[in-house]
Structure 1
Amino acid sequence: MDHTARTVETYDQIAADYHLIATPEHRAWPEDSMREFRARLSGATVLVAGIGEGRDSRHLQGPGAQVVSFDFSEGMLALARAPDLSGVYRQLDLREAGKMEQMLDGIWACACLYHLTKPEFRRCLGDLYDLLNPGGVLLLNLKLGAGERFIEIPRDGYPGGDGAKQKLGGNRFYAFYTREEPAGYFSDYAVGKERRDLLKEGDGAMEFWLGKTS
């Protein structure tokens, strides 16, 4: 079983209780970023990658929006589809994102790309960027740290308190990036904005906005 299959297995097992991490503190920065993301969109077509329980997909929907979402976990997809029967949800491996045929005005890749190895991340970043229309924007975030490894989650500092600790266990693969490291991955792209130290609990997060001008 490779790192992705093992991580997906964990997400399938904890899907029904995954909402426990959606504390107000933990949701504050992505919801703030989503408001800016919507304001920056030059068109209506949006891809949400690694959707989890679908909260971000529903948040980004609105009049005229064309939101397509995917995840590799069947358990998470079932959760996302249940309250949103008219939504477009697909099962897809991040490593296969380049096979999508639809061009996009925005890609929201929050809390997912750090489950790839670093070589996989580099390839996936290029695949996602190639899907953007001119004027499009790609938002992603990375874990602050060093190295690549499986982690038993939750551990101290994980959002959701005791309920999350009891119900959201399981190994997941993570790639961690130092503060300087992302520059080596983004040298071929226009980084319009970055934010760091976004999470007070658990591992630090870094957020990056990549734009496509032509």
Structure 2
Amino acid sequence: MSKADLSKQPAQVAAMFDQVSTRYDRTNAVLSVGNAALWRVATTRAVAPRAGETILDVAAGTGTSSASLARNGASVVAADFSEGMIEVGRHRQADNPFVRFVQADAMALPFDDDSFDAVTISFGLRNIVDPKKALAEFYRVVKPGGRVVVCEFSQPPLSPVRAGYSAYLKFGMPVLARLASSNPAAYEYLMESIQAWPDQRSLAGWLREAGFERVAFRNLTAGIVALHRGFKPESTAPADSEPPASTVPSEGE
């Protein structure tokens, strides 16, 4: 059984996800204590997909998030680096005409500039060796006026929550991983990568560095997860134009 380390070498990460692909969604549901479905709903609402739009779902895994994004008639390109994940996803979404799988490196996306109405990534940015380079790619391929949404593990702002979550990662999650996963060692990497990941404001800063405007974030599950969103400048729109209030994350800088 393989386990990536914090150098996040692409071949290691891909091999690790290949090995967990068949039981990945079930394991996520167990390790998140059922919250994975709620985080997916929140992400879909933040993306706010509309019929006829084209959306890029990066690190889409088995396509569970892509199917949620496509529910209202948007066309979703489900991109992932792991061949095993894509194989499982293609089988599970075989009857879904709105989801198309593509093997792709997030740091060198095989798409033209200004191709997508929205780009989103859930729990995948943390696994990329150079996340800033990936954000630059998201900026390149999204259309002017389009949006990026990042759902990722983060740092709970309240110290009691941080302490409890750290204890869960160290003691609780390994037990559950041994029960639910086909590769428990892979979830040691999960714990390490979560603990090493920057906080909400740092990620918001990365999005601004990539060129996104109106960057905002809100915490989910007391900050265990954070949902970030930003917009690519629209050259024909006033600089102070705002998106519909109902779709904007409610917490930010």
Q: Which of the five TM-score ranges fits, normalised by the shorter chain?
A: 0.7 to 0.9
Q: Which runs of 5+ in 1 are unaligned?
A: 146-153
Larger radius of gyration: 2
Q: Secondary structure at the match of 2:89?
A: helix
1:125 Cα deviation after fit: 0.6
**Alignment length (residue pairs):** 199
2:133 is aligned with what amino acid?
Answer: R
Match of 2:213 in 1: 190
Residue number in structure 1 paired with 2:29: 22
Deviation at 1:199, TM superposition (A): 4.2
Relative to total residues, which structure has the larger strand share, 1 or 2? 1
Matching residue of 1:31: 41
1:71–1:91 Cα contact (<8 Å) kept:
yes
Identity among equivalent pairs (%): 22
1:183: Cα distance to partner?
Answer: 4.2
Could you tell me how far apart the structure 1 residues matched to 2:231 and 2:43 are? 15
Contact 1:139 1:210 in 2 (8 A): yes
Q: Is the 8 A contact 1:53 1:80 kept in 2?
A: yes
CA RMSD of aligned residues (A): 2.9
Supply the distance in 2 between the matched residues of 1:34 and 1:90 (Cα, whole angstroms): 20
User: For the residues of structure 1 that align with 2:205 and 2:47, how far apart are their CA atoms?
Assistant: 24
Q: Judging changes above 3 Å, is the alpha-carbon distance between structure 1 residues 58 and 9 closer, same or farther for their aligned structure 2 residues?
A: same
| Partners of 2:146 and 2:231 within 8 A in 1 | yes
Q: Give the CA deviation at 1:43.
A: 5.7
In the alignment, is the contact (CA less than 8 A) between 1:143 and 1:206 conserved in 2?
yes
Query: In 2, distance between residues paired with 1:91 and 1:112?
Result: 14
Q: CA deviation at 1:44?
A: 0.6
Residue 148 of structure 1 aligns with which residue?
A: none
Task: Detail structure 1 runs of 4+ shifted over 6 Å in the superposition.
Answer: none
- For the 8 Å contact 1:52–1:71, the answer to whether it is kept is yes
TM-score between both structures, scaled by the size of structure 2? 0.68
Task: Specify the alignment match of 2:127 in structure 1.
Answer: 115
| One of 230, 237, 242 as aligned partner of 1:210 | 230
Does residue 60 of structure 2 align to residue 48 of structure 1? no
Query: C-alpha displacement at 1:156, in angstroms?
Result: 3.5
Matches within 5 A, 1:105-144: 105-117=117-129, 120-144=130-154
Instruction: Kindly state the Cα deviation for residue 83 of structure 1 after the two structures are TM-superposed.
Output: 2.2
- Specify the SS of the correspondent of 2:47: helix
- 1:116 maps to a residue whose letter is I
SS in structure 2 at match of 1:96: coil
Contact 2:46 2:149 in 1 (8 A): no
Q: Which residue of 2 aligns with 1:81?
A: 90
Where structure 2 has 5 or more consecutive residues not aligned to the other structure, the ranges are 156-168, 235-253
Q: Which residue of 2 aligns with 1:7?
A: 13
